[in-house]
């Protein structure tokens, strides 16, 4: 079969890419290992800020929203101190959201190969010529296309089969990921009314080392709850074990759904396009490194990359030179912020419960500063000034020094991913080693063990 574009993965990123490209009249196929009726069934916290939909003008129907939030409330380890970060959000019904995206894609004549797994990638003349996909208990089908998009999630199926010399196949470290486990339950006890208006995040390095645990309400009667935790992947911690130990005894109720998964909590892949291949969503590490939210940024990356691939196809072909602008646009829209937050993430992963308690108890940061940090990904002058004044007042000079060092690395990485991002693919290898050296240097400075290189 011959298509304009073959997309691997029918998560939010793959389906959004399919919709964008099919809307322009291209012949698109989506390959998905799940059966069609399971599309959207993704283990997730389900929480997303509504600004993400607004940014790409995606008008989601009300049937895909389970619940609405006024913001996020962050609790200290003792749970005595809290901080409210304002901002409207929703709890999406992931299955209905996925099924709705699928309907939209099928309406635009996207062809779905459901229950098919990508097995092989055939390269000819330094381009991907075709992919081979196999139906569960069925035949192998060869799909040719002018361009391919890897949207297969945190463990990428397509780009991991590309030559090592293609920078799009870049390999991460284990600590670039959180491993997460969550349950959705119908609780015996409704959540307290005041808290139920927020998505609750609990900082606790004992319960969720290198991550956090969450309690996200999902229903107006305050009994359907999405509870979970993420831990840094370093071969030591097990999120399911910690869930059973710390959270299960606190929340009694009937289980609706349980599951786990991995979340890339790092800066984006150095390039989202190479030869005739694009990468979007978790496969391109587009998740926010600090809070682990990736639905919105997956949609955004998909929108940008597929738009440029479409433009390339219209102009006669896709390769990294012709669609390089996709990288520049993504870095401006989200990637540079992610890069800054990657440094902050490493810093936060080194903090202890005492540090978290001290910061929240003494109100070192306020909700609007955290919001600014989340939206812009920068520790602006104003925030730094206020935070420094508070730290000085309370006498923790070592913290002040750590903060200054962290900020200078954040700024360096933001700058590399924005104004200093390569203007053309030829400059990429040099830029990649600069970025790697800075991340490695910061890790060394704070004594952060980055773990092992992952094979995929």
101 binds ligand FAD (CB under 6 A): no
Rg (CA), the chain: 22
**Half-sphere exposure (CA, 13 Å, Cβ side) for 139?**
3
**Residue ranges in 145-164 that form contacts with ligand FAD under rule CB under 6 A:** 151-153, 157
In 3D, which of 225, 223, 295, 219 has the Cα closest to residue 258?
225
Q: Please identify which residue in 270, 281, 289, 335 interacts with ligand FAD, judged by CB under 6 A.
A: 281
279 binds ligand FAD (CB under 6 A): no
- Measured over the CA atoms of residue 322, residue 328, residue 330 and residue 333, the dihedral's sign is negative
Which runs of consecutive H residues, i.e. helices, occur in 250-324? 295-314
Q: Please identify which residue in 29, 44, 207, 247 interacts with ligand FAD, judged by CB under 6 A.
A: 44
Which residue lies nearer to ligand FAD by CB, 48 or 428? 48
DSSP notation for 200-266: EEE--TTTSTTS-EEEEE-STTS-EEEEEEEEE-SSS--HHHHIIIIIGGG--EEEEEEEEEEEE-S
Binding mask 367-406 for ligand FAD (x = CB under 6 A): ----------------------------------------
8-state DSSP, 76: -
The answer to whether residues 340 and 418 touch, using CB atoms and an 8 Å cutoff, is no
Which residue lies nearer to ligand FAD by CB, 268 or 422? 268
Q: Please identify which residue in 43, 332, 362, 415 interacts with ligand FAD, judged by CB under 6 A.
A: 43
87 binds ligand FAD (CB under 6 A): no
Helix 381-394 and helix 397-417, axial crossing angle in degrees, nearest 10: 170
CA triple 67-335-97, angle to 5 deg:
30
Which residue lies nearer to ligand FAD by CB, 292 or 335? 292
Which residue lies nearer to ligand FAD by CB, 155 or 319? 155
The answer to whether residues 147 and 276 touch, using CB atoms and an 8 Å cutoff, is yes
The answer to whether residues 195 and 65 touch, using CB atoms and an 8 Å cutoff, is no
Binding mask 213-252 for ligand FAD (x = CB under 6 A): ---------------x------------------------
Contact window for ligand FAD (CB under 6 A) among 294-302, 305-313, 396-404, 413-421: 294-302
Q: Please identify which residue in 21, 121, 295, 326 interacts with ligand FAD, judged by CB under 6 A.
A: 295
Question: 25 by DSSP, 3-state: which?
Answer: coil
- To ligand FAD, the closest distance from the beta carbon of 433 in angstroms equals 27
335 binds ligand FAD (CB under 6 A): no
Q: Please identify which residue in 176, 183, 282, 378 interacts with ligand FAD, judged by CB under 6 A.
A: 282
**Interface ranges with ligand FAD (CB under 6 A):** 8-14, 31-34, 42-48, 117-118, 151-153, 157, 180, 182, 228, 261, 263, 281-283, 287, 292-296, 298
């Amino acid at each position: 079969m011959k298509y304009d574009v073959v997309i691997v993965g029918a998560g939010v990123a793959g389906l959004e890419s399919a919709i964008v490209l099919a809307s322009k009249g291209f012949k698109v196929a989506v390959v998905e290992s799940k059966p069609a009726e399971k599309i959207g069934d993704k283990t997730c916290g389900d929480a997303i800020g509504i600004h993400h939909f607004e940014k790409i003008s995606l008008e989601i129907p009300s049937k895909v929203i389970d619940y609405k939030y006024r913001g996020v409330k962050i609790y200290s380890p003792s749970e005595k101190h809290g901080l409210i970060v304002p901002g409207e959000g929703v709890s999406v019904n992931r299955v209905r959201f996925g099924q709705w995206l699928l309907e939209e894609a099928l309406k635009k004549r996207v062809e779905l190969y459901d229950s098919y797994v990508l097995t092989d990638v055939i390269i000819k003349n330094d381009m991907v010529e075709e992919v081979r996909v196999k139906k569960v208990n069925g035949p192998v089908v060869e799909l040719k296309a002018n361009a391919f998009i890897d949207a297969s999630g945190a463990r990428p199926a397509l780009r991991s089969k590309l030559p090592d010399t293609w920078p799009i196949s870049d390999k991460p470290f284990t600590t670039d990921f959180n491993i997460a486990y969550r349950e959705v339950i119908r609780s015996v006890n409704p959540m307290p009314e005041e808290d139920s208006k927020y998505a609750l995040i609990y900082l606790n390095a004992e319960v969720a080392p290198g991550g956090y645990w969450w309690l996200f309400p999902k229903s107006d009667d305050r009994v359907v709850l999405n509870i979970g935790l993420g831990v840094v992947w370093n071969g030591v911690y097990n999120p399911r074990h910690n869930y059973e130990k710390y959270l299960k005894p606190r929340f009694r109720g009937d289980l609706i759904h349980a599951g786990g998964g991995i979340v890339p909590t790092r800066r984006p892949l150095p390039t989202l396009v190479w030869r005739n291949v694009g990468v979007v969503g978790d496969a391109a590490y587009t998740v926010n490194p600090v809070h682990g939210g990736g639905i919105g940024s997956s949609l955004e990356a998909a929108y940008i990359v597929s738009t440029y691939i479409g433009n390339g196809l219209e102009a006669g072909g896709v390769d990294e030179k012709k669609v390089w602008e996709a990288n520049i646009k993504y870095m401006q829209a989200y990637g540079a912020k992610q890069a800054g937050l990657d440094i902050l993430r490493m810093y936060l992963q080194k903090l202890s419960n005492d540090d978290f308690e001290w910061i929240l108890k003494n109100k070192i940061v306020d909700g609007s500063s955290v919001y600014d940090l989340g939206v812009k990904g920068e520790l602006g002058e104003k925030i730094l000034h206020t935070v420094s004044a508070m730290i000085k007042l309370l006498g923790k000079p070592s913290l002040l020094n750590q903060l200054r060092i962290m900020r200078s690395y954040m700024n360096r990485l933001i700058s590399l991913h924005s104004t200093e991002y390569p203007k053309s693919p030829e400059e990429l290898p040099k830029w990649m080693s600069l970025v790697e050296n800075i991340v490695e240097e910061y890790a060394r400075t704070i004594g952060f063990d980055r773990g092992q290189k992952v094979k995929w």
